C-alpha cells in the first residue's frame, strides 16, 4: 500500500491542480469576445436579406450579414457619411441611354455558404423583388426594397463580373438607392427550395425564404449561427471577409429585441447586455454613473413640422413660415432632451455635400419672428391659429408629446396659437400619404412625422415635387412649383457625382429659403455601451459598423 | 354525465364563432394600414396598391373572414406579414412560454392567496385578518407592470441577483428546469402573481367567513369533530369556488400580460401581441387573439366540468 501524503501536501496538490486547470480554462474562455446588443425592435428584424423595422433592421440584420453593391462609409464620426463602393467596385451610366448603368463587381467574394458572388447573383437578387415571374420572387420583400429604389426595373448579366441595370427614367440617385438591396446567396436559397416539401413552386418559394431566414447566407462580415424567432439572433465573425479593414475582431454578436426602454436600461445595468439602443433620457445619468458610455451624433433623421400649402392654410404666407422657424428655442429644447438632439439648420447640416449655403439662417430670434408676424397682421391680441397633427409615441418620433408642447409654448411668444390633434402613430403614418386636403387631416395644417434623409429622394424630392402629391408619395402639404421641379430634374439627370451633389445643394438651399417645414430637431441616435466595447465610431448616419469594434 | 358534457360543448360552439368574428372585425376595423410592417410610409401609392393585391387585402371583408376561418379550421392561421413565418408556430411557441409563466404565477398566487384568505377568514375581525386583507388589497391594487419595474430595479439592476429580461440564457427554445433557467421566471412570475393572489385571497376569505357562520359547522363541532376535521369540511366547500376563480385567473394570465412580458422581454403571447399591434401585423394579431380566446373558452369549459365533479349539485343544476 503506497504511503499517504501528509494532509497539507494533499491540499496544496489539489489547489495547484485546480489552479492549473483554471489557468488553462480561463484564457480559453476569455478568447471568445461576445457583444450582446439590446435593440429597440419588438422582433428580430428580418434576416433574409431585406430587413424590416426601418433602418434599425438595416443596422443589425442588413449591414452586418450582407453587402450591397454600394455602401455607406461608416468609418468617420466627424464627417458626413458618403457613398462608397461595396460589392461593386465601379459604376457608370451609359453615355447615350441614361437609363442604362454598368456595374463592375468585386472579384473573389464568397457567400457564407461558400458559393461565389457574381453577376448571376446580382440578377437573381434584383429579380427577387422586381420580377413576379421569378421563382424566388418574394412579395414580403418588395415593399421595403422597391420603395427604396423606385426607378430600378431590370438587371442583366454582361459577364461574370459585370451587370447592366436599367431604370424607368434617367435617375442619378440609383447608386445611392442600391445601398438598400442586399445580396443573398442564390445557391443557399436553392438548397432550401429543393428541400421544401410544399406542392406548388410558389409555396416552395415561400417555405424556402422562411428556411433561409432561419439559416441565412450573405457576404457580410458576420454570418448567422443561431436564430430564435422573436428572442435572439447570434452571428459569428466571418474571418474570410473580403475587406481586410472590416474583418471582425469580435467573435460573436448576440442581438436581443427589447422594445421597452426601461427593460433595456435594466439589462445594461445588470450586465445582461453590453449595448442598448435609445436609452431613455432620464436614465442617462444612472447609465453613465455605472461606467457606461453614451454615444451620439447628429444623423440624417429630421424631426419637423411639415406645412400645408392647401388653400386657406396659414402657412401660405412665407413671413409666417419664417417666423415659426425663428421662434423655436432649440437650445432649450435640447436641454429638455438631456442634450440628445441636434440643432437643425435645414434638412441636411452645414458641411454636407447637399448643404448649398441657403440665405435663410434658421436660428432662435424671437424679436425677428415677432416682427415678421406683425408684418403678417398678427399680434398677442390677435394670434394666428394653427393645428398640427402629432402622435403620442412612435418609432423615430423621439419624445413627441413633450417636444411638441415645448414648441407650442415657444411659438406662443410669437403670436402662434397652436392646437394639437394627437393620434395613434400608425394612423398618423397612414394619413401622411393621404395629404392635408383629406378628411383624415382633421383640419390640421401641419403634420409631425419624422423622416430619414439618407438619400436625395427621401430627404427632399418626395416632399417638394409636384409629382409626389398625395397619394403618390409624401408631399402631404401639396408644396411645389416649377422652379423646384426644375431643380429636381437637374439633380436627377446629373450623372457626375460632384455635379449631382451641386444640383442637390441648389435644391436644398431653395427648400430652406422657401421653408415648407418648421425644422425643429435632428435625432442624434443615442446608444449606451459598456466601457468594455472599444473602437466605437458613431458616424453621422443611421448605421454603425460593428465589424470594426473590439471588446476588452 | 355525457349529456351534460355534450350540452356544455354545444354551448361553446356559438361562443367560439362569435369570438372568431369579433377578433377578425376588431383588428380590421381599427384605423391604420395593414401593410405598415412591410411597406415603409414613404413607399409609392403604386407599390402600396400592388402589395394590397398580393396580400389579398383588396377582397371584401366577408370574403377575407370566410377564407381565414376556413384555413383556421384546418389549423392554418396564415403567415405573419412582418416576419413571413407561419402564425400558428409563432402563437403555439408563445402560448407554451406564457403557459409556463402563468402556471408558475398562478401557483404562487393560489398558494399565497389561499393562505392569506384562509387565515383572514378563520380569524375574521382580528388583527391577523386585517393584515392578510391589507396584503390582498395591495395585491389587487398595485399595477403589476409598475411592480415589475420595481422588482427589476431592485433585484436585477441594483443587487444583480436575478436577470432583468428574457427567457433563459439561450432563449426559450433551449429551456431546462434548472436554476440557470428558472431564475429568469422568478421576477415576471412574482409580478404576475400579485393580482390573482389578491383576488383569490379576498374570495377565500369571504367564503371561509361565511362557512364558519353556517349551522352545519356548529353541527360538526357538536358531533365532536376536531378543528382539523372542521377545516377539511370547509376546504371541501370552498374549493369549487376557489378553483373556479383560479381557473379564471389562469385564463387571465394566459392572455399574457402585455405589459409584464414587455417589461421583462419575455417571449410569451403578451410580447407577441405587443409586437403584432405595433407592426399592425393583422394575421398574427388575429391568430394570437383567436388562440387565446379559444383557450379561455376551453378553460372555462374544463373548470365547469371539474366544478361539477367536485360538487355534483352544480352539474345537476
> Distance of CA B63 to CAs A305, B30, B60, B168, Å?
40, 18, 5, 42
pLDDT the model gives residue A137:
93
Could you report the per-residue pLDDT of A57-112, keeping only the tens digit for each?
899 999 999 999 999 999 999 988 889 999 999 999 999 999 999 999 999 999 99
Check if the beta carbon of residue B300 is closer than 8 Å to that of residue B247.
yes
ipTM of the complex: 0.77
Probe site for chain A from B27, B30, B40 (most A CB atoms < 10 A): B40
Distance of alpha carbon B68 from alpha carbon B77, whole angstroms: 7
Q: Which three cell numbers stand for residue B194?
A: 400579485
Q: How confident is the model at residue A9 (pLDDT cuts 50, 70, 90)?
A: low
pLDDT at A90: 96
Query: For B182-209, what is the mean pLDDT?
Result: 91
Name the residue in chain A with its Cα closest to that of B280: A426
Q: Does B143 touch chain A (CB under 8 A)?
A: no
Mean pLDDT of A252-272: 90
Residue with cell 402563468: B102
In a domain, B299, yes or no: yes
Q: Mean pLDDT over all residues of chain A? A: 91
What is chain B's mean pLDDT, rounded?
A: 84
B23, part of any domain: no
Q: Give the residue with greater pLDDT, A250 vs B59.
A: A250
At residue B316 the predicted structure's pLDDT band, cuts being 50, 70 and 90, is low
Residue A472's closest CA among A459, A485, A481, A463?
A: A463
Rounded to a whole number, what is the distance in Å from the CA of A288 to chain B's nearest CA?
14
Please name the residue of chain B whose CA is at the shortest distance from the CA of residue A231. Answer: B171
CB of B274 within 8 Å of any CB in chain A? yes
The radius of gyration of chain B from alpha carbons, rounded to an integer in Å, stands at 24
Q: Which residues of B fall within a CB distance of 8 Å from A458?
A: 42
pLDDT bucket at A159, cuts 50 / 70 / 90: very high
* DSSP β-bridge partners for residue A39: A257
Write out the H or E segment, with its range, that includes residue A276: strand A275-277
Question: Per the domain annotation, does B72 fall within a domain?
Answer: no
A-chain residue closest to B90, CA distance: A229
Question: What domain range includes position B124?
Answer: 87-316
Is the confidence at residue A260, as pLDDT, over 90? no
Between vectors from CA B245 to CA B110 and to CA B237, what angle results, nearest 5°? 85
Tens digit of pLDDT for each residue in B72-106?
Answer: 888 888 888 888 888 998 898 998 999 899 989 99
pLDDT digits (tens, 9 = 90+) for B43-65: 777 777 877 887 778 888 888 88
A463 neighbors A474 (Cβ within 8 angstroms) = yes
Please give the helix or strand (H or E) that residue A332 lies within, else none: helix A330-336
Q: Tell me if residue B190 falls in helix, strand or coil.
A: helix
pLDDT at B213: 83
Q: Is the pLDDT of residue A28 over 50?
A: no
Please indicate if any CB of chain A lies within 8 Å of the CB of B44: yes
Q: Is the pLDDT of residue A2 over 60?
A: no
Are A229 and B166 inside 8 Å of each other by CB? Answer: no
Is B264 within the bounds of a domain?
yes
pLDDT > 90? residue B230: no
Nearest to A231 among B153, B163, B167 (CB): B167
Q: Sorting pLDDT into bands at 50, 70 and 90, what band is A497? A: confident
Give φ, ψ of A411 to 5 degrees: -70, -20
The partner residue sitting opposite A260, judged by closest CB among B51, B265, B267, is B265
CA distances B170 to A29, A90, A233, B103, B183, Å, are: 17, 43, 10, 22, 13
Distance from CA of A46 to the nearest CA of B (A): 6
Q: Who has greater pLDDT, A547 or B36?
A: A547
Percent of chain B with pLDDT over 90: 11
Q: Using CA atoms, how far apart are residues B115 and B49, in angstroms rounded to an integer?
A: 60
B275 inside 8 A of chain A by CB: yes
Task: With beta carbons less than 8 A apart as the criterion, state whether B195 and B144 touch.
Answer: yes
Is residue A445 scored above 60 in pLDDT?
yes
Q: How far is A43 from chain B (nearest CA, A)?
A: 7
- Please check whether residue B201 lies inside any domain of the structure: yes
Helix (H, G, I), strand (E, B) or coil at B233: helix
CA distance B186 to A185: 43
Is position B145 within any domain? yes
How many Å apart are CA B98 and CA A246, to the nearest integer? 41
The helix or strand, by DSSP H or E, that contains position A293, with its residue range, turns out to be strand A293-295
Residues of A with Cβ-Cβ distance to B157 under 8 angstroms: 265-266, 269-270
Q: What is the CATH number of the domain that holds B275?
A: 1.10.3720.10
Q: Could you read off the pLDDT of A413-444 as tens digits, one per residue?
A: 999 999 999 987 778 877 888 899 999 999 99
Tell whether B85 is within 8 A of chain A (Cβ): yes
Quick check: B255 and B296 in contact, CB under 8 A? yes
**Rounded Cα gap, residues B211 and B47, in angstroms:** 68
The domain tally of chain B equals 1
**Chain B residues 219-258 with CB within 8 Å of chain A:** none
- Closest Cβ opposite residue A143 in set B43, B153, B263: B43
Domain-embedded: residue B107: yes
Q: A30-39, A119-128, B3-12: lowest mean pLDDT where?
A: B3-12
* B20 in any annotated domain: no
CA angle A351, A356, A358 (to 5 degrees): 110
Amino acid at each position: 500500500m503506497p504511503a499517504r501524503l501528509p494532509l497539507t501536501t494533499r491540499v496544496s496538490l489539489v489547489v495547484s491542480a485546480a489552479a492549473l486547470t483554471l489557468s488553462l480554462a480561463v484564457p480559453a474562455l476569455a478568447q471568445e469576445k461576445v457583444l450582446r446588443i439590446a435593440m429597440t425592435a419588438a422582433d428580430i428584424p428580418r434576416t433574409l436579406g431585406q430587413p424590416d423595422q426601418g433602418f434599425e433592421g438595416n443596422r443589425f440584420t442588413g449591414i452586418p450579414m450582407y453587402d450591397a453593391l454600394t455602401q455607406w462609409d461608416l468609418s468617420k464620426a466627424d464627417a458626413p457619411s458618403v457613398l462608397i463602393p461595396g460589392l461593386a467596385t465601379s459604376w457608370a451610366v451609359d453615355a447615350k441611354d441614361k437609363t442604362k448603368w454598368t456595374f463592375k463587381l468585386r472579384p473573389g467574394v464568397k457567400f457564407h455558404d461558400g458559393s461565389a458572388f457574381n453577376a448571376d447573383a446580382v440578377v437573381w437578387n434584383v429579380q427577387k423583388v422586381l420580377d413576379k415571374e421569378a421563382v424566388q420572387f418574394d412579395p414580403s420583400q418588395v415593399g421595403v426594397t422597391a420603395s427604396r429604389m423606385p426607378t430600378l426595373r431590370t438587371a442583366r448579366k454582361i459577364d461574370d463580373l459585370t451587370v447592366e441595370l436599367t431604370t424607368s427614367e434617367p435617375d442619378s440617385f440609383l447608386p445611392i438607392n442600391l445601398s438598400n438591396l442586399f445580396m443573398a446567396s442564390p445557391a443557399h436559397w436553392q438548397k432550401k427550395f429543393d428541400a421544401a416539401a410544399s406542392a406548388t413552386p410558389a409555396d416552395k418559394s415561400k417555405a424556402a425564404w422562411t428556411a433561409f431566414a432561419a439559416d441565412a447566407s450573405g457576404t457580410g462580415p458576420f454570418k448567422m449561427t443561431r436564430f430564435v424567432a422573436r428572442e435572439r439572433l447570434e452571428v459569428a465573425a466571418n474571418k474570410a471577409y473580403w475587406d481586410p479593414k472590416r474583418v471582425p475582431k469580435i467573435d460573436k454578436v448576440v442581438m436581443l429585441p427589447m422594445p421597452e426602454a426601461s427593460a433595456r436600461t435594466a439589462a445594461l445595468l445588470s450586465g445582461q447586455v453590453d449595448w442598448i439602443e435609445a436609452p431613455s433620457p432620464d436614465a442617462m445619468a444612472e447609465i453613465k454613473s455605472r461606467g457606461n458610455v453614451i454615444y451620439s451624433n447628429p444623423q440624417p433623421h429630421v424631426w419637423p413640422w411639415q406645412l400645408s400649402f392647401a388653400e386657406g392654410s396659414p402657412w401660405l404666407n412665407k413671413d409666417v413660415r419664417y417666423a415659426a422657424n425663428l421662434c423655436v428655442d432649440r437650445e432649450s429644447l435640447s436641454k429638455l432632451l438631456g442634450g440628445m438632439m441636434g440643432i437643425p439648420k435645414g434638412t441636411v447640416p452645414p458641411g454636407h455635400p447637399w448643404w448649398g449655403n441657403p440665405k435663410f439662417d434658421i436660428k432662435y430670434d424671437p424679436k425677428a419672428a415677432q416682427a415678421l408676424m406683425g408684418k403678417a397682421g398678427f399680434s398677442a391680441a390677435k394670434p394666428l391659429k394653427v393645428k398640427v397633427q402629432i402622435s403620442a409615441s412612435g418609432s423615430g418620433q423621439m419624445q413627441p408629446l413633450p417636444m411638441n408642447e415645448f414648441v407650442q409654448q415657444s411659438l406662443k411668444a410669437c403670436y402662434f396659437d397652436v392646437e394639437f390633434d394627437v393620434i395613434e402613430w400608425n394612423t398618423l403614418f397612414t394619413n401622411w400619404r393621404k395629404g392635408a386636403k383629406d378628411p383624415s387631416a382633421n383640419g390640421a395644417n401641419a403634420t409631425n412625422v419624422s423622416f430619414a434623409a439618407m438619400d436625395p429622394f427621401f430627404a427632399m424630392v418626395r416632399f417638394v415635387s409636384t409629382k409626389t402629391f398625395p397619394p403618390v408619395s409624401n408631399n402631404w402639404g401639396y408644396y411645389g412649383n416649377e422652379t423646384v421641379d426644375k431643380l429636381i430634374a437637374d439633380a436627377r439627370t446629373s450623372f457626375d457625382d460632384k455635379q449631382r451633389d451641386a444640383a442637390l445643394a441648389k435644391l436644398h438651399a431653395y427648400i430652406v429659403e422657401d421653408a415648407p417645414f418648421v425644422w425643429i430637431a435632428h435625432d442624434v441616435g443615442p446608444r449606451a455601451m459598456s466601457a468594455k466595447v472599444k473602437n466605437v465610431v458613431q458616424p453621422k448616419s443611421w448605421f454603425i459598423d460593428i465589424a470594426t469594434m473590439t471588446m476588452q | 354525465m355525457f349529456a351534460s358534457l355534450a350540452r356544455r360543448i354545444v354551448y361553446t360552439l356559438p361562443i367560439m364563432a362569435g369570438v372568431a368574428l369579433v377578433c377578425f372585425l376588431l383588428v380590421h376595423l381599427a384605423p391604420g394600414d395593414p401593410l405598415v410592417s412591410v411597406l415603409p410610409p414613404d413607399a409609392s401609392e403604386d407599390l402600396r396598391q400592388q402589395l394590397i393585391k398580393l396580400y389579398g387585402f383588396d377582397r371584401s371583408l366577408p370574403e377575407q373572414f370566410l377564407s381565414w376561418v376556413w384555413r383556421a379550421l384546418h389549423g392554418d392561421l396564415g403567415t405573419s406579414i412582418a416576419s413571413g413565418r407561419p402564425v400558428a408556430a409563432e402563437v403555439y411557441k408563445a402560448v407554451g412560454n406564457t403557459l409556463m409563466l402563468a402556471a408558475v404565477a398562478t401557483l404562487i398566487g393560489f398558494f399565497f392567496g389561499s393562505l392569506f384568505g384562509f387565515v383572514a377568514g378563520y380569524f375574521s375581525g382580528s388583527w391577523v385578518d386585517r393584515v392578510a386583507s391589507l396584503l390582498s388589497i395591495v395585491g389587487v391594487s398595485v399595477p403589476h407592470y409598475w411592480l415589475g419595474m420595481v422588482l427589476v430595479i431592485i433585484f436585477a439592476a441594483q443587487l444583480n441577483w436575478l436577470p432583468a429580461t428574457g427567457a433563459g440564457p439561450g432563449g426559450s427554445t433551449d429551456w431546462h428546469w434548472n436554476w440557470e433557467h428558472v431564475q429568469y421566471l422568478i421576477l415576471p412570475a412574482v409580478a404576475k402573481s400579485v393580482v390573482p393572489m389578491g383576488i383569490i385571497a379576498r374570495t377565500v376569505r369571504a367564503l371561509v367567513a361565511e362557512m364558519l357562520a353556517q349551522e352545519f359547522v356548529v353541527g360538526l363541532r357538536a358531533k365532536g369533530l376536531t378543528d382539523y376535521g372542521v377545516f377539511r369540511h370547509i376546504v371541501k366547500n370552498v374549493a369549487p369556488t376557489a378553483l373556479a376563480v383560479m381557473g379564471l385567473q389562469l385564463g387571465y394570465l394566459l392572455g399574457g400580460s402585455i405589459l409584464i412580458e414587455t417589461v421583462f422581454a419575455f417571449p410569451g403571447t403578451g410580447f407577441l401581441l405587443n409586437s403584432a399591434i405595433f407592426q399592425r401585423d393583422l394575421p398574427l394579431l388575429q391568430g394570437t387573439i383567436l388562440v387565446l380566446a379559444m383557450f379561455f373558452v376551453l378553460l372555462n369549459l374544463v373548470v365547469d366540468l371539474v366544478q361539477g365533479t367536485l360538487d355534483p349539485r352544480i352539474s345537476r343544476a
